[in-house]
Amino acid sequence: MLAAYFMQSTVYYYPLDAKGGKLATAIRMDNFSRRIILMKAVGYQHALPITDANALLDIELPRPLVSGKDILVRVEAVSVNPVDTKIRGRDNASEGTFEILGWDAAGVVESVGSEVKQFSPGDKVWYAGAINRPGTNMEYHLVDERIVAKMPSSLNYLEAAALPLTAITAWELLFDRLKITTKQKGTLLIIGAAGGVGSIMIQLAKQLTNLTIIATASRPETREWVLSLGADDVLDHNQSLVSQLQDSGYSDVIYVASLTHTATHLSEIASLISPQGDLAVIDDLKTFDIMPFKRKSIAIHWELMFTRSLFQTQDMIEQHYLLTQVADLVDEGRIKTTMTENFGTINAKNLIKAHALLESGKSRGKIVLAGYDR
């Protein structure tokens, strides 16, 4: 809902919650020059535990106006990632405003900016978006065309929304950070392989490299999941990784992709990784002592899929290209969606449930939501 307050030739619009309370600073519209078209969204103001009723809120906002390199997408489906829960639990919105989370979407191009070259209204697209812009948990979303691609024709919106952020992360980690080639041989250990990133990384490594893929998972259902995706072997990350590798006959682990709880496994990684090997990390460590890796001359890599859009790098369009390649792999039947849970309509109640499951550490694959109550 919006409340309008008239002062001479200016109208001030305030987004309201379901009880009529103001959620943001006024949106100013001078001289009645534009017609406000509202859309639904889910946002928050204060960093609260997911058990709090106000952790996420249903709100209404004006539909964004498109310009430049942006496209306006009618969002049909979204998925939830750990970055959503981290930001919601850590960052307050600026005073008088609110934060919109969500960095995965599949939808339809509604309109395009004057500088857009790759898309037209009606195109079905998928993307993750940019961390320094509002997220995808809204009916209509602006995104730079350089980080968007046409979605796989063989998937529906729900199935497609599960993949972009994790596919970009896994692709960049494997091929941009570790610089693994299609002919590369050796062993890749993926720690925390049953989550969103691990679920697509296993598939990409299986389809595009000659590596032996060792995944870690701790529960029967997650072990079965990673094996179904193409893992050659599975270790329990709640037990000694060094001992399990030795017992399984692995003596040469060249690549390690640590996707979660890296701090817990750091000493074991230093022990098990091969001399002159490569370690890639995506999670947030409070401290990171790299000295144990010096004797083996280990190369350490960070992967953050938002880097290109955050810094507007010259190669930002690479995310368009890689999402296009992943879409082709999906349509060829070589990669499958990692969607495992459909939590229904996009609203605060269902997103709170999704955040709670992610925070429990018991999810596998990706949680998706689609459509709005209209």
User: Rounded to whole angstroms, what are the CA distances from 15 to 1, 12, 21, 40, 63?
Assistant: 6, 10, 8, 10, 12
Distance between CA atoms of residues 284 and 288, nearest Å: 10
CA 244 from centroid of its chain's CA atoms: 31
Distance between CA atoms of residues 278 and 49, nearest Å: 36
pLDDT digits (tens, 9 = 90+) for 102-115: 999 999 999 999 99
Q: 133-164 burial string, b = 16+ CB within 10 Å, else e? A: bbbbbbbbbbbbbbbbbbbbeebebbbbbbbb
CATH, residue 102: 3.90.180.10
Residues 297 and 316 in one domain: no
pLDDT digits (tens, 9 = 90+) for 285-305: 999 999 999 999 999 999 999
Choosing from 289, 305, 321, the residue where a domain stops is: 305
Domain contains 59? no
DSSP per-residue string spanning 32-96: T-S---EEEEEEESS---TTSTTSSEEEEEEPPPP-TTEEEEEEEEEEE-HHHHHHHHH-PPPTT
Measured in Å, how far apart are the chain's first and last C-alpha atoms?
13
Residues 156 and 170 in one domain: no
Domain contains 208? yes
Are 45 and 98 in contact by the 8 Å Cβ rule? The answer is yes
Residues 301 and 278 in one domain: yes
Are 355 and 48 in contact by the 8 Å Cβ rule? The answer is no
Q: What is the mean pLDDT of residues 119-138?
A: 97
Query: Closest Cα partner for 211 from 166, 244, 181?
Result: 181
Domain contains 266? yes
Domain contains 53? no
Size of the chain in residues: 374
- pLDDT bracket for residue 373 (50, 70, 90): confident
DSSP letter (8 states) at residue 132? T
Structure tokens at 241: 């990784």
- pLDDT bracket for residue 8 (50, 70, 90): very low
- pLDDT bracket for residue 36 (50, 70, 90): confident
Q: How many other β-carbons are positioned within 10 Å of the β-carbon of residue 173? A: 26
Question: Domain tally for the chain?
Answer: 2
Residues 110 and 171 in one domain: no
Burial category of 302 from C-beta neighbours within 10 Å (exposed 0-12, middle 13-18, buried 19 and up): exposed
Residues 246 and 338 in one domain: no
Residues 273 and 179 in one domain: yes
Residues 286 and 314 in one domain: no
Domain contains 7? no
Domain contains 93? yes
Q: What is the mean pLDDT of residues 209-238?
A: 96
Percent of the chain with pLDDT over 90: 85
Distance between CA atoms of residues 104 and 73, nearest Å: 12
What is the domain range of residue 224? 166-305
Q: What is the pLDDT of residue 251?
A: 85
CATH, residue 270: 3.40.50.720
Average pLDDT score, the chain: 91
Q: How many other β-carbons are positioned within 10 Å of the β-carbon of residue 88? A: 23
Distance between CA atoms of residues 231 and 334, nearest Å: 14
Domain contains 251? yes
Q: What is the mean pLDDT of residues 172-180?
A: 97
Q: What is the pLDDT of residue 35?
A: 66
**Does residue 249 register a pLDDT over 60?**
yes
Higher pLDDT, 19 or 203: 203
3-state DSSP call for residue 264? helix
**Does residue 363 register a pLDDT over 70?**
yes
Q: What is the pLDDT of residue 34?
A: 53
- pLDDT bracket for residue 27 (50, 70, 90): very low
Sheet order of strands, 233-235 included: 233-235, 212-216, 187-191, 253-258, 273-281, 299-302
Q: What is the mean pLDDT of residues 172-178?
A: 98
Sheet order of strands, 10-15 included: 2-7, 10-15, 27-30
pLDDT digits (tens, 9 = 90+) for 255-292: 999 999 999 999 999 999 999 999 999 999 999 999 99
Q: What is the mean pLDDT of residues 164-174?
A: 98
Are 262 and 300 in contact by the 8 Å Cβ rule? The answer is no
Q: What is the pLDDT of residue 279?
A: 98
Plot region of 361 (φ>0 → left; ψ -120 to 50 → alpha; else → beta): left
Residues 192 and 234 in one domain: yes
Lowest mean pLDDT among 34-38, 122-126, 301-305: 34-38
**Does residue 23 register a pLDDT over 60?**
no
Q: What is the pLDDT of residue 26?
A: 38
Indicate the pTM of the whole model: 0.90
Choosing from 253, 271, 305, the residue where a domain stops is: 305
* Partner residues linked to 278 by β-bridges: 255, 299
Residues 264 and 249 in one domain: yes
Distance between CA atoms of residues 176 and 257, nearest Å: 13
Residues 314 and 294 in one domain: no
Domain contains 18? no
Residues 262 and 190 in one domain: yes
Distance between CA atoms of residues 17 and 24, nearest Å: 10
Choosing from 305, 324, 347, the residue where a domain stops is: 305
Residues 248 and 329 in one domain: no
